[in-house]
């Protein structure tokens, strides 16, 4: 049995004086235990909506989600969640942030202390446990958010653009750290990203979603050995193929008006132009709290 089973879920948002917006329609896929799956797709295609439903924070209109055979009906400690803007509690220290879920679940002080040491070990955050998020760099905040999500030893880690706010130069380094963190925790992952290179570097599987009702355009297996060389021919071929599919996903767009404008502005002429425009558009429309990375510097 697969660890995660998503069965024909649909979600429509209705707002006053606007036609109903079908974000996802009868979306189905499953994830094996231990797999690292990335979701790629244009801004507004429903990636966060899907992840939020996997987290149990929002119900689907129709369809069902099962985790380890159990129907998802609300949030639970079997799912660790890293939000698109990290959402660390700014008034809590690193240690308090990491241990928050264990405190809520009434773990003993001894258990919490032991788990904290394990998590500081795997995240190399020793020495920062008494700092506040604002005192950390963006990369360190990202690590805190990931280990906080790992604290309760979840069955699955749900990551919404975990490196979305990180400078391009830092991203590759942090992708390596993220891979090591996840490997150390031996967890299953579903990660939203808009970075094709990142998805190929980290994932066993990449699912490309269309802007048109979240249709799955492609479910691609990345059968490259780890650790992966971004310079290898096979790596570049995967990036090339997926970039092409993302381009197709844009062209299927018919729902997100805000992003439509930017798609019209995009230079779709060549691959490098396409990827650069795509990244620019994404950082413009993504929900990342822009002030955060500035404040952290
Ligand atoms: N609570 C809501 N009420 C109404 N519309 C919503 C709500 N949440 C999301 N939407 C709309 O649903 C669509 C999908 O949003 P979602 O945040 O899932 O996109 P996304 O793929 O994560 O985009 P991005 O890559 O920019 O983060 C968007 O058009 C968004 O405006
Ligand atoms: Mg999103």
Q: For residue range 53-104, what is the model confidence (pLDDT) as tens digits?
A: 999 999 999 999 999 999 999 999 899 999 877 679 999 999 999 999 888 8
Q: What pLDDT, in 10s, does the model give residues 213-238?
A: 999 999 999 999 998 999 999 999 99
Both tokens of 244, joined, read 């092409």
What confidence score (pLDDT) does residue 268 get? 42
Q: Is 49 touching ligand 1 by the criterion CB < 6 Å?
A: yes
Please give the structure tokens belonging to residue 142: 């990202």
**247 CA from centroid of ligand 1 (Å):** 19
- 96 vs 289, which has greater pLDDT? 96
Task: Render 186-233 in DSSP notation, one character per residue.
Answer: T-EEEEE-S-HHHHHHH-SEEEEEPTTTT-EEEEEE----SSPPTTSH
Q: Is the CB of 154 under 6 A from ligand 1?
A: no
Confidence check: pLDDT of 284 > 70: no
Any ligand 1 atom below 6 A from CB of 143? no
Q: Choose one of 17, 48, 280, 287 to mutate for the ligand 1 pocket test, by most ligand atoms within 8 angstroms of C-beta.
A: 48
Say if strands 4-13 and 62-67 run parallel, antiparallel, or are unpaired: antiparallel
Q: Which residue has the higher pLDDT, 253 or 212?
A: 212
Contact call for residues 89 and 54 (beta carbons, < 8 A): no
SS3 of 153, please?
A: coil
Residue-level pLDDT at 267: 43
Q: Which atom of ligand 1 is nearest to the CA of 255?
A: 29
Is the distance from the beta carbon of residue 270 to the nearest atom of ligand 1 less than 6 Å?
no
* Residue 281: alpha-carbon gap to chain centroid: 18
With a 6 Å cutoff on the Cβ, whether 47 touches ligand 1 is yes
DSSP type of residue 72: P
| Largest Cα span, the chain | 59
User: In CATH, what number is assigned to the domain containing residue 145?
Assistant: 3.40.50.300
Nearest atom of ligand 1 to the alpha carbon of 286: 26
Instruction: Report whether 96 contacts 112 (CB < 8 A).
Output: no
Q: How many structural domains comprise the chain?
A: 1
C-beta neighbour count of 272 within 10 angstroms: 10
Q: What is the pLDDT of residues 98-112, one digit of tens each?
A: 999 888 888 899 999
Burial class (CB in 10 A: 0-12, 13-18, 19+), 9: buried
Strand partners, 62: 10
Q: What is the pLDDT of residue 248?
A: 87
To 10 degrees, the CA torsion angle through 35, 40, 46, 50? 0
Cα–Cα distance, 136 to 178 (Å, whole number)? 17
Is 248:42 a contact under the CB 8 Å cutoff? no
Domain that residue 215 falls in: 2-296
CB 39 within 8 A of CB 216: no
Is residue 186 a contact partner of residue 174, using CB atoms and an 8 Å limit?
A: no
pLDDT at 60: 97
Spatial neighbors of 47 by CB under 8 A, at least 6 apart, are 39, 41, 160, 192, 209
Give residue 295's pLDDT: 35
For the cut 60, the answer to whether the pLDDT of residue 270 exceeds it is no
Distance CA 79, CA 67 (A): 9
Atom of ligand 1 nearest to the CA of 287: 27
Ligand index nearest the alpha carbon of residue 160: 2
From ligand 1's centre to the CA of 52, what distance in Å?
Answer: 11
Specify the pTM.
Answer: 0.83
249 with 41: CB under 8 angstroms? yes
Q: Which two tokens stand for residue 193?
A: 């990203």
Which pLDDT band, with edges at 50, 70 and 90, does 254 fall under? low
Distance (Å, whole) CA 269 – CA 277: 10
Question: What is the Å distance from ligand 2's center to 221 Cα?
Answer: 23
Which residues are bridge partners to 207 per DSSP? 39, 219
Q: Band the pLDDT of 253: cuts 50, 70, 90.
A: low
| Residue 195: pLDDT over 50 | yes
CA–centroid distance, 46 to ligand 1, in Å, is 6
Q: Which ligand is nearest to the CA of 23?
A: 1
Per-residue tokens: 110: 């001894």
Answer whether 287 contacts ligand 1 (Cβ < 6 A).
yes
Distance between Cα 111 and ligand 1 center (Å): 38
């Amino acid at each position: 049995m697969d660890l995660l089973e998503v069965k024909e879920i649909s979600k429509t948002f209705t707002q006053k004086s606007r036609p109903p917006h079908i974000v996802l329609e009868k979306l189905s896929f499953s994830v094996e235990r231990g797999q690292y799956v990335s979701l790629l797709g244009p801004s507004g295609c429903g990636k966060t909506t899907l992840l939020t439903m996997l987290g149990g924070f929002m119900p689907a209109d129709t369809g069902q989600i099962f985790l380890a055979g159990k129907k998802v009906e609300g949030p639970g400690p079997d799912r660790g969640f890293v939000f698109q803007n990290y959402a660390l509690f700014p008034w809590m220290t690193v240690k308090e942030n990491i241990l928050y879920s264990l405190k809520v679940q009434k773990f003993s002080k001894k258990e919490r202390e032991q788990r904290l040491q394990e998590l500081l070990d795997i995240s190399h955050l020793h020495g920062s446990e008494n700092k506040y998020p604002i005192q950390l760099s963006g990369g360190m905040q990202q690590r805190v958010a990931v280990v906080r999500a790992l604290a309760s030893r979840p069955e699955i880690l749900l990551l919404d653009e975990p490196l979305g706010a990180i400078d391009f130069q830092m991203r590759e380094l942090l992708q390596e750290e993220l891979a090591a963190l996840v490997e150390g925790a031996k967890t299953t992952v579903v990660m939203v990203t808009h970075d094709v290179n990142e998805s190929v570097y980290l994932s066993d599987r990449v699912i490309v979603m269309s802007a048109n009702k979240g249709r799955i355009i492609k479910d691609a297996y990345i059968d490259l050995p780890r650790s992966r060389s971004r310079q290898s021919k096979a790596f570049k071929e995967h990036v090339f193929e997926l970039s092409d599919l993302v381009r197709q996903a844009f062209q299927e767009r018919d729902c997100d008006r805000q992003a439509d404008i930017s798609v019209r502005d995009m230079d779709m002429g060549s691959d490098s132009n396409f990827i650069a425009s795509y990244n620019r558009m994404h950082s413009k429309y993504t929900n990342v709290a822009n002030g955060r990375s500035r404040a952290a510097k």
